[in-house]
Amino acid sequence: MKDIRIAAVISNSSVNETRRNLDQMVRWVKEARKKGASIICFPEMNITGYSTREDIINAAEPVPGPATKEIVKLAESENIVILAGIAEKDSNGRIFASHLIIKPHEPPSIYRKLQISPPERTIFTPGNKIPLFEVQGVKFGIQLCYDAHFPELSTCMAVNGADIIFIPHASPRGTSDEKFRSWMRHLPARAYDNSLFVIACNQTGDNGKGLNFPGVAMVIGPSGKVLSKDLSGKEGILVYDIKTDELNRVRNHRMRFFLPNRRPELYST
């Protein structure tokens, strides 16, 4: 892995107001680029807004589609990799909670949420692939909100070479402090058990469709320690330098790097 500067965004996204949400993205992307970030990660479904009501179908669009094309142009003009969330509609009319991976001058890639929470199941179809992506020698995976509650998913990504897992959220309810304490039950474990970085960010504020989000963004190191956090609950951007040395200190320690000593032949389920 190479050192890389990342930006994690806490932003407000109104449901079915894609134009507004895209315009807001421009501001955050420009700010991240001014601060030297190579990758910027937005919350889950920040482009279309997040909702489990049927009217989210009206905002859903294909990938590539109009929103994707705009973000491709933005990534190219600012020379930055953009990770952004969208309600995706495929050619069969299925709706996915998806995250775009848009690199300058390359076709867009996509991650489709794999673990669909009970309130989402009447709207969203689960994905069926666990892709990894690479930017500037850094291999990373993406999980969306509820995905992070399933340890096997993070281990699969780590075994296949992930150095970072980005975990964009659209996680409502509670205060910022309460959300942080909730995340601390499981996100540090995903980093510690798999000796990788976890970067999480959440929507904030009222989505206009009955949900209110408490914000929060954090970076967790491969030892499970929180390296940086924003608990203000306000829109903002968390910028952090991901260092190879921090990863190597854990992975070069024979008693702190657990993955090489797994015995997967013992696990039948």
Task: Residue 24: name the closest of 74, 61, 63, 64 by CA.
Answer: 74
- The residues spanned by each domain of the chain are 4-266
Identify the pLDDT of residue 215. Answer: 97
Identify the pLDDT of residue 71. Answer: 98
User: What are the CA-CA distances from residue 255 to residues 107, 188, 247, 252 (Å)?
Assistant: 41, 18, 14, 9
- pLDDT by residue (tens digit) across 116-172? 999 999 999 999 999 999 999 999 999 999 999 999 999 999 999 999 999 999 999
**pLDDT score of 267 more than 90:** no
The per-residue DSSP string of the chain comes to ---EEEEEEEB---TT-HHHHHHHHHHHHHHHHHTT-SEEEPPTTTTT---SSTTHHHH-B-SSSHHHHHHHHHHHHHT-EEEEEEEEE-TTS-EEEEEEEE-TTS--EEEE-SS--GGGTTTBPP------EEETTEEEEE--GGGGG-HHHHHHHHHTT-SEEEEEE---SS-HHHHHHHHTTTHHHHHHHHTSEEEEEEBEEE-SSS-EEE--EEEE-TTS-EEEEE-S-SSEEEEEEE-HHHHHHHHT-TTT--GGG--GGG---
Identify the pLDDT of residue 233. Answer: 95
Identify the pLDDT of residue 213. Answer: 97
- pLDDT by residue (tens digit) across 186-218? 999 999 999 999 999 999 999 999 999 999 999
Q: Is residue 104 within 8 Å of residue 71, measured between CB atoms?
A: no
Contacts of 23 (CB under 8 A, 6+ apart): none
**pLDDT score of 268 more than 90:** no
Identify the pLDDT of residue 34. Answer: 97
- pLDDT by residue (tens digit) across 73-126? 999 999 999 999 999 999 999 999 999 999 999 999 999 999 999 999 999 999
**pLDDT score of 50 more than 90:** yes
The per-residue DSSP string of 90-142 comes to -TTS-EEEEEEEE-TTS--EEEE-SS--GGGTTTBPP------EEETTEEEEE
Q: What percent of the chain has pLDDT over 90?
A: 96
Identify the pLDDT of residue 1. Answer: 82
**pLDDT score of 254 more than 90:** no
CA count, 13 A, side-chain hemisphere, 144: 31
- 4-266 folds as Nitrilase/N-carbamoyl-D-aminoacid amidohydrolase (3.60.110)
Q: Which long-range contacts (CB under 8 A, 24 or more apart) does 150-156 make?
A: 150/115, 151/189, 151/190, 151/193, 153/114, 153/115, 154/190, 154/193, 154/194, 154/196, 155/193, 155/194, 155/259, 156/130
Identify the pLDDT of residue 7. Answer: 98
**pLDDT score of 269 more than 80:** no
